[in-house]
Structure 1
Amino acid sequence: MTPTTRKRSLLLGTTSLLLITINAATLHAQEADQGFLGTLVLGESKRKVQTNTAVPQTTVDQDEIDDRQAGTVAELIDSVPGVSLVNGSTPQGSGINIRGFGANSTYGTDQKVAVQVDGANVGAEELYRIGTQLFTDPFLYKNVSVIRGTVGSFEYGSGIVGGVVRLETKDASDLTGGELGYVLGQTLGFSSNGNGLTSSTVLAWQPTQDMEFMLNYTWRDQDNQQDGNGDEIGNSAFTLPSGLLKAKYTFGENRDQSLTFSVTNTTSSERDVPYDTFTTTTDMFGNVDRDTTSRTAALTYNFNPADNNLLDLDVQLSYADQQIDQTYISGSSSLEGTPAGAGLLPLTNADHRYQTTKLSFKNTSLFDTNAVSHELRTGLELIRKERLNASSAYGGVDNRVAVYAVDDMRIGNAWTITPALRYETSEITGSTAPNDGVYDNDALMGGLSLRYAFDTGFAVFGSAAYTESLPIIDDLNNATLMARSEKAKTYELGASYDGIDLFRSGDSFAIKANLYKTELYDITSFTSGGSHLKSVDTEGFELEASYAMESGLYLDMNANITDGTQTAPDDTVSDWKNTAADSLRFTVGKKFGEELDLSWEVVANASTDVSGTETPGFGIHNLRATYIPQQGVLKDTQIRVGLENVFDRDYTPHLSTRSAPGRNLKLTLSRTF
């Protein structure tokens, strides 16, 4: 069955299911009109499907973050349709790929996926054979939001084709519940594969109603893991200490103003490890000593007066700093001393540093114009990125100014029309001759989404979006690339349903299906045979669904079918080299009140053939149990047990360069005082 046939089959099946739910929902609506039926206690699944928007967006909240017991941030979002990981079980040599863009086995990023921590833009540019450098810990965050594609991205950046990953750190009030005093929390985690050990200590203090402070220190350590065959996965060991400091002060008339400051810091120190972070053993590049520091800071002022719907202002100053110091281990490369190895030392002995400072102003206004209700979000961003000049990379400064406007216009309870515009200018100045010129570029981009909601809970939506990737500092050596931008168009079409009492009283069901097609052209990021590709065309189908019963039984499912082609300068068409595998993830579970949650998860990837290179498919099983006693001596204690890859399957996910870990038993104990 071809990818196109699979898409059509799945779409037809989904459409049929949506039509069935319309009829069922209509019958229940008619019954409800006969009189008030009383308060319903609805069941809940692990994840809420975002059916109230045309934007393909998924949010992983605190409960799911805790439940998944992820070792990396990437592992938090691998359950989102359209998201694929490159070696996701370690911070080094890993990356996030969304809809075929983002990380690959050569570079940790292609600038098509944006990552933000508390609004700060994080991540480096194209570092050869080094992963995304998203060094941080899941314990620092209370939710992660993933926006797929372009249409919802104009508030966060330009050139975003894959999507946006937004991480929000924890607040003290999340633990104190707004009550005065302090809460001390301690979490210990253990994993059998790699002898993993994690300790996370958090202190939340709220001395007054207007002041709150949060301090978190997390230390995570892991030895080399083993795959399903029992073979060691080289270069998979790491030690990762991370910290978070956050404070918030609320003031003003009716407490309508606030000032929030957050800072995160994560370090990694590796000794005598392969320079190529995507490999498991030493290769021709040899080994290095590598120290990595990743830190972010954000200061945010909010003014939201209760008597003025036109004003909800956020002013934020953010700073992100990624620093990588490397020292080549003499004699570790087989090419050392040969003509072929002459370029090794400048590459492997290079230090890298990226510093991004952003001052942003964002306001949300609520108002009506006749029959139209508006939620207008406007913003101004001043961004400065500084890249250290290295022996293997060009240094310089990229100064950008961006303005944007996104207006959610609602007509009654049915129509939502959302136009979005972003204009961005860039001035890049090289720091070292001969790449020390000044290059100016600008672009106007935008999109439009339409959504129509029926009274039955069924909705249909579609969107079109256009974006441009302005030149980056990494391209300073090529005057042609510095004078043109990379362009992309994305079209989407989908449907959703969200309703209660569908099959029985107290149940809830939500489903969202989305078709997309992206055209990338005037390419500056990808090459074939030494020349830049002419175009990349990708298309796919994404599905999210959840069902929960009042008894506690729940089901979660998401699926992703994708395909892509690339066109060379000579018009030769071949498979897009970064196409992700078709995937399906299904979870069935049962909640026993607030105390116990048991679930079984199946993860399956289809076999993938890209230009004659086949990656076998796989299916693995994960078991999870969460026990939260509500009374007795164990009250305020949480116990989580997970068994991943239950049958010890040996497999390598498509796009990854290492085997996936084999069976892994995880145990997490948490206690608040």
Structure 2
Amino acid sequence: MTCSTHRYSARPLHRLLAVFLASSAITIAATVAHAQHAGGTQLNVPAGSLTTALNRFAAQTKLQIVFDASVTAGVSTAGISGHLSTDTALSGLLAGTGITYRYSGASMVTLSKPGAASIAEADGETTLETIVIRSDRHYGEGKPNVSEIGKETIERAQASSIPELLKKTPGVSMGGGVRIQGQSISIRGFSRQSDTRILLDGAPKNFEKYDQGTIFVEPELLKRVEIEKGATSVRYGNGGFGGTVKMETKDAADMLKPSQSWGAWGKTAYQSANQEFLETGALYGRSDFGTPITYDGLLSLTWRKSDDMRIGGGEHYLYSDSELASGMVKGGAEFDGHEINASVMYGESNNWGPVAAIRGQLDFTQTDIDRYGYYEAARRRLAWRELKDLTSTFEYQYTGDSDLVNSRFMASYSSTGQRATRPGNTTASASVGGIENEATYSDLHLELENTSNFTLGGLGHKLNYGVQYNGHKREVTMFDIVNAAKPDYNFGYYAPWFMPEGTQDTASAFIRDTIEVTDALTVTPGLRFDWVRSEGVENDAPRYNNPAGLHDYSAVTHQGFTPAISVVWQATPDIRLFADWAYAMRAPNIDEIYSTQSAATSASGTSRDLDIERNNTINIGADFNFDDVFLSGDTLSARVALYNNRVTNPVTRRIGTANLSGMGAIGQVPWYWNTPSYYTRGIEMQFHYDTEKVFADLGMSWMTGTRNGAINNLRGSDTFINDLAPATMQAALGFKVPDRDLSFGWSATLVADQDQTPYNQDGRTYARPPGKGYAVHTLFLDWTPKDGFMKDTELHMALENVFDKEYEPYLSDGITAMPGRNLKVSLSRRF
């Protein structure tokens, strides 16, 4: 009998595209055009400090204002009021101050003043801090469901992984444990990999290998992360019920010092809990070389290595060490309304670890130790895991003289592959991936869109419309040594029945129109259409490729519209109210459609008849921004957001004897099915207070959710859903020493007990047990000198888990504790 051992290689088109994206930046020229804000707006900015006035002005006009600290120091303004154009209002604010302005982008204004330090041509010994005032003030884009993590927060966090970086955001939790390859993200009670959309410079990152984490991007590459919680934007579709995580990588403009055309940056870091060392550096430049074309480029390399993690109380988790290397090449060019950017990012890690990366301490039986010796007994519980992660992007933008043409094209190719081997273990069963397994998940993504600005019927319109394509491919293989002699298992070479191979192609179109109903009220209706074609690959093992067991890997299509609407009302200059609604969809993924079991089991078949899931979701919220609240020059920002999700036709594995009774004959029941609806709802609150010498933050989140019946007994009573995060509060209090460019303070994570779980209801068999609350405290210090010998140097220090608390986050499934007392130190410098 012939033994098939086929493996799929990447499509030739994908390979050629990856090479093309890597070289595009140095072959095409581009630039960003800017626009004047000529339309009138109702403005009200009282007299007083110019810095405070500019804050109010930016919030009301949606401008971003950039200037050096010396420009507005000690300057006052008479204020402005009335229905004014942006130029007239800004000229009025600056009247008599000697300060001038220029547009440096479509929504960006740069201020300058003779005799003050210039942002573009500053003296290296006297340059003060550049200040950027954004229209959204402290929180994200001004939407109730958007949180932003900027460069300063990323540097201060000193995170080793993306889930670790995001976990302090209200409504966001980290799953897994201390092993980087076993971490995942949960947002607002949605914990499946397909419920959190991950984008890196617009490229989707889709890795859903069972118990192996979801995202492996190096945080050192990033300048900004935006978390759009919920699924209310038609810009993205087919999934992401929890939300969308959009990561932006650094570029030369973020790294260059004033007046520099090229530079270098280096950083070293250490953390004590796992003896982790980090070394990272970058070379970058930006110049027109005396031509009409402006070029920029950046090369970055990072190396991270750690030993086993020490958890609270002193225990070390065996085989939680790691070694990772990553790099990025990024370049672009600008010319006469055209801009092009391209990048390639690659990361790799190799290490021994548990077969399931999402797990806690390893336990070896004394019998195994006596029989094999300690190291061999350990190795029999481990896998040698090799991970390779590639992302390549290409983006072209054109902003012409016409308001109707603002076009963008983006193409990306991303691939995450993991190979795991268990040498010498002759008892490794197929349920744990056999003695050897390999999975590669790749995505080819294309986008073409345009934005047109016009006036129709007396109302201003910003019409954004486009088309998208995503080609997702899963290549999986395994060697099952236990069944290597059995023809029914193809002599051990086949794809695991719970990780089928296949492709999923998605073609989409969207349109959304931001309508200025009044100066204070905007309404944005939108509509999206997704067409999804999924096709499986026949299993090489006849046991899992048997038509008599309902094994059918042929193609199936799903489609649907997503309507949405967003309303924003600037009730007062300091209060803004929001509401977002959408009827989002998610098509079943490859695993859900084509996973199967043998015909001898009760639920054996593939699940080609699954319906799409729907989420009837709404967010409402408010932003508050007040100046001079307690002290002259202070600011208080607050955000309150409430959400409700109603998910119908959720796709679930068919588990529990109660769900199988009366379903049909053995071998005639699909493994996945659509189950009754469930809901999640919650509230998130954030507060930020800032003065010249003190700052404070407070974030709180609470959620609940119930499903009809239990996941393992649909006929039972209603139960909580399984992935609810407990009530959580994040607090921080800090102090600034402006004369020393120093800040320091305290922060804490306070988590309540979690008893909202089906564990004590009918769903006990497949539920997390109740979780205990905990409090974890951190001390931090940040030094960013602006002048003197140490100028352009940053020092960040933190002592996390000060009291060495041993604790297990609820979504870690009670299998892993978190790092104990941990000293983190990082030192970086720009040259």
TM-score by length of 2: 0.71
Task: Classify 1:128/1:220 alpha carbon distance in 2 versus 1 (closer, same or farther; 3 Å).
Answer: same
Corresponding residue for residue 399 of structure 2? 304
Q: Identity, % of aligned pairs?
A: 24
CA distance in 1, matches of 2:169, 2:133: 15
Cα displacement string for residues 610-637 of structure 1 (whole angstroms, at most 9, x for unaligned residues): 2332211011111111112222222221
Corresponding residue for residue 199 of structure 2? 116
One-letter code aligned to 2:158: Q
One-letter code aligned to 1:57: V
Corresponding residue for residue 195 of structure 1? 275
Cα displacement string for residues 522-574 of structure 1 (whole angstroms, at most 9, x for unaligned residues): 1114555275542221111111121112x231111111001112223215211
State which of 487, 492, 495 in structure 1 corresponds to 2:622.
Answer: 495
How far 1:45 sits from its partner (Å)?
12
Long gaps (5+) in structure 1: 1-31, 104-108
CA distance in 2, matches of 1:250, 1:52: 26
Corresponding residue for residue 25 of structure 1? none
CA distance in 2, matches of 1:398, 1:482: 16
Report if the CA contact (8 A) 2:621-2:641 is conserved: yes
One-letter code aligned to 1:452: W
CA distance in 1, matches of 2:819, 2:419: 28
Cα displacement string for residues 84-112 of structure 1 (whole angstroms, at most 9, x for unaligned residues): 00136542111010011135xxxxx2x11
How far 1:139 sits from its partner (Å)?
0.7
How far 1:115 sits from its partner (Å)?
0.1
CA distance in 2, matches of 1:44, 1:292: 39
What secondary structure does 1:373 align onto? Answer: strand
Corresponding residue for residue 37 of structure 1? 48
What secondary structure does 2:803 align onto? Answer: coil
CA distance in 2, matches of 1:348, 1:165: 35
State which of 258, 275, 292 in structure 1 corresponds to 2:339.
Answer: 258
Corresponding residue for residue 823 of structure 2? 665
Report if the CA contact (8 A) 2:323-2:349 is conserved: yes
How far 1:329 sits from its partner (Å)?
3.4
Could you tell which deviates more after superposition, 208-217 or 135-144?
A: 208-217
Report if the CA contact (8 A) 2:237-2:585 is conserved: no
Report if the CA contact (8 A) 1:135-1:267 is conserved: no
Corresponding residue for residue 374 of structure 1? 461
Task: Classify 1:641/1:45 alpha carbon distance in 2 versus 1 (closer, same or farther; 3 Å).
Answer: farther
CA distance in 2, matches of 1:545, 1:416: 25
What secondary structure does 2:651 align onto? Answer: coil
What secondary structure does 1:463 align onto? Answer: strand
Within 5 Å, give how 1:454-465 maps onto structure 2. 454-465=571-582
CA distance in 1, matches of 2:432, 2:809: 32
Within 5 Å, give how 1:178-327 maps onto structure 2. 179=259, 181-208=261-288, 210-251=294-335, 253=336, 256-271=337-352, 273-282=353-362, 286-305=381-400, 307-327=401-421
Report if the CA contact (8 A) 2:610-2:651 is conserved: no
CA distance in 1, matches of 2:581, 2:150: 29
Report if the CA contact (8 A) 2:252-2:298 is conserved: yes
1:130 lines up with 2:212 in the alignment: yes
- Calculate the aligned-residue CA RMSD, in Å: 2.4
1:73 lines up with 2:162 in the alignment: yes
Cα displacement string for residues 265-313 of structure 1 (whole angstroms, at most 9, x for unaligned residues): 1111113x211111134479942111110110001011012x2222221
CA distance in 2, matches of 1:203, 1:220: 19
How far 1:52 sits from its partner (Å)?
6.2
One-letter code aligned to 1:40: T
Report if the CA contact (8 A) 1:476-1:482 is conserved: no
State which of 191, 200, 223 in structure 2 corresponds to 1:142.
Answer: 223
One-letter code aligned to 2:300: N
State which of 465, 468, 471 in structure 2 corresponds to 1:384.
Answer: 471
Cα displacement string for residues 400-435 of structure 1 (whole angstroms, at most 9, x for unaligned residues): 101111222222232121212110101122222544
TM-score by length of 1: 0.87
CA distance in 2, matches of 1:631, 1:406: 47
CA distance in 2, matches of 1:44, 1:666: 28
One-letter code aligned to 1:240: L
Task: Classify 1:319/1:183 alpha carbon distance in 2 versus 1 (closer, same or farther; 3 Å).
Answer: same
CA distance in 1, matches of 2:526, 2:167: 28
Long gaps (5+) in structure 2: 1-43, 56-130, 365-379, 478-494, 540-544, 546-551, 596-604, 660-672, 761-768
State which of 650, 656, 674 in structure 2 corresponds to 1:529.
Answer: 656
Task: Classify 1:481/1:512 alpha carbon distance in 2 versus 1 (closer, same or farther; 3 Å).
Answer: farther
Report if the CA contact (8 A) 2:702-2:726 is conserved: yes
State which of 618, 633, 645 in structure 1 corresponds to 2:774.
Answer: 618
Report if the CA contact (8 A) 2:355-2:432 is conserved: no
Corresponding residue for residue 15 of structure 1? none
Task: Classify 1:538/1:234 alpha carbon distance in 2 versus 1 (closer, same or farther; 3 Å).
Answer: farther
CA distance in 1, matches of 2:432, 2:803: 44
State which of 684, 705, 730 in structure 2 corresponds to 1:585.
Answer: 730
Corresponding residue for residue 174 of structure 2? 85
Structure that is richer in helix per residue: 2
What secondary structure does 2:342 align onto? Answer: strand
Could you tell which deviates more after superposition, 88-97 or 439-448?
A: 88-97
Task: Classify 1:99/1:375 alpha carbon distance in 2 versus 1 (closer, same or farther; 3 Å).
Answer: same
Within 5 Å, give how 1:239-638 maps onto structure 2. 239-251=323-335, 253=336, 256-271=337-352, 273-282=353-362, 286-305=381-400, 307-331=401-425, 336=427, 342-344=429-431, 346-347=433-434, 349-390=436-477, 391-392=495-496, 393-432=499-538, 434=545, 435-474=552-591, 475-477=593-595, 478-525=605-652, 528-529=655-656, 532=673, 533-549=675-691, 551-568=692-709, 569-593=714-738, 595-609=741-755, 610=757, 611-612=759-760, 613-638=769-794
Higher relative contact order (CA 8 A, sep 6+): 1
CA distance in 2, matches of 1:586, 1:150: 28
Could you tell which deviates more after superposition, 401-410 or 210-219?
A: 401-410
Corresponding residue for residue 10 of structure 1? none
How far 1:358 sits from its partner (Å)?
0.8
Report if the CA contact (8 A) 1:48-1:546 is conserved: no
CA distance in 1, matches of 2:639, 2:432: 51
What secondary structure does 1:615 align onto? Answer: coil
Corresponding residue for residue 7 of structure 1? none
What secondary structure does 1:601 align onto? Answer: strand
Cα displacement string for residues 546-603 of structure 1 (whole angstroms, at most 9, x for unaligned residues): 1112x23111111100111222321521121111111000111122227112121111
Task: Classify 1:527/1:506 alpha carbon distance in 2 versus 1 (closer, same or farther; 3 Å).
Answer: farther
CA distance in 2, matches of 1:527, 1:183: 57
